[in-house]
Structure 1
């Protein structure tokens, strides 16, 4: 558990800020400290998702604009066929997450990364066994657009 907490903190520090450059100097702009010890994360269940929980770090996964968030998928939770209108980078920290693209299932065990391209229809979810803990971030809001099966 201690290793997961350390990993969460490192990922939050690395991804919680999309720093720009200072226009005058061209050097990276000074950024405020972003700090989310695991004990301080505020988890909430997303209504109508069958138990998916999120802890927002920057912005809100359910709001508008950029966000960074930890996401917990219950073990065995499957998503319907869908797509996202922008790329969805994901780091799997615990459990085994999966995506089914063009009929091919790809499993992502803890320690995996994937960047799902925008507008790519797929199934996804958390394999049975352990809950899945993910770190996700996008430059704009999260969306899940249902797609009719082929």
Structure 2
């Protein structure tokens, strides 16, 4: 009987330890690390570092990394296309999740009707689907893009 009581108590305390460990891990998941802080950026934020687009893109094109490493999965960028310019036909290894911030952007995905984006419009572009993008406004078009895979743009010759 003493042995049964001892086993019951050991099971109880083991269960209690497992519960305590789970409880502590549950709350630890919500804690941000020193490297991972919440932040926000506006298009005209002085913290943004605008860099050049790939060479096949039109003059005035620029990219600013908002979050992540563009060479790794899950990076977010602002893509700026000068007014009245067109990004030649290209594709991306990654799917793109986009929201137009400013301007009017026309995207022509192969095999689909063209899409017209105005500020606040969301668009999804599947991975490897060729497309062109034309900024039809006088002012630059700024597009927020969330990439699932590393950021790239592969140019295609116009058929």
Q: 1:115/1:28 Cα in 2 relative to 1: closer, same or farther (>3 Å)?
A: farther
What is residue 90 of structure 1 aligned with on the other side?
A: 98
2:49 aligned to which of 42, 45, 64: 42
Structure label with greater radius of gyration = 2
What is residue 110 of structure 1 aligned with on the other side?
A: 119
Cα deviation for residue 28 of structure 1 reads 5.0
What is residue 16 of structure 1 aligned with on the other side?
A: none
Q: Given that residues 96 and 127 in structure 2 are in contact (C-alpha distance below 8 angstroms), is that contact kept between their aligned partners in structure 1? A: yes
**Structure-to-structure mapping, 1:124-143, within 5 angstroms:** 124-143=133-152
RMSD: 2.7
Distance 1:46 1:81 in 2: 14
Q: Given that residues 89 and 138 in structure 1 are in contact (C-alpha distance below 8 angstroms), is that contact kept between their aligned partners in structure 2? A: yes
Structure 1 stretches of at least 4 aligned residues deviating more than 6 Å after TM superposition: none
Distance 2:147 2:54 in 1: 21
Cα deviation for residue 94 of structure 1 reads 0.3
What is residue 25 of structure 2 aligned with on the other side?
A: 24
Distance 1:94 1:138 in 2: 19
Q: Given that residues 60 and 69 in structure 1 are in contact (C-alpha distance below 8 angstroms), is that contact kept between their aligned partners in structure 2? A: no
Q: Given that residues 54 and 153 in structure 2 are in contact (C-alpha distance below 8 angstroms), is that contact kept between their aligned partners in structure 1? A: no
The alignment of Structure 1 onto Structure 2 pairs a total of residues equal to 128
Cα deviation for residue 71 of structure 1 reads 1.8
Distance 1:119 1:26 in 2: 39
Distance 1:27 1:98 in 2: 44
Q: 1:28/1:128 Cα in 2 relative to 1: closer, same or farther (>3 Å)?
A: same
Q: 1:45/1:83 Cα in 2 relative to 1: closer, same or farther (>3 Å)?
A: closer
Distance 1:60 1:98 in 2: 27
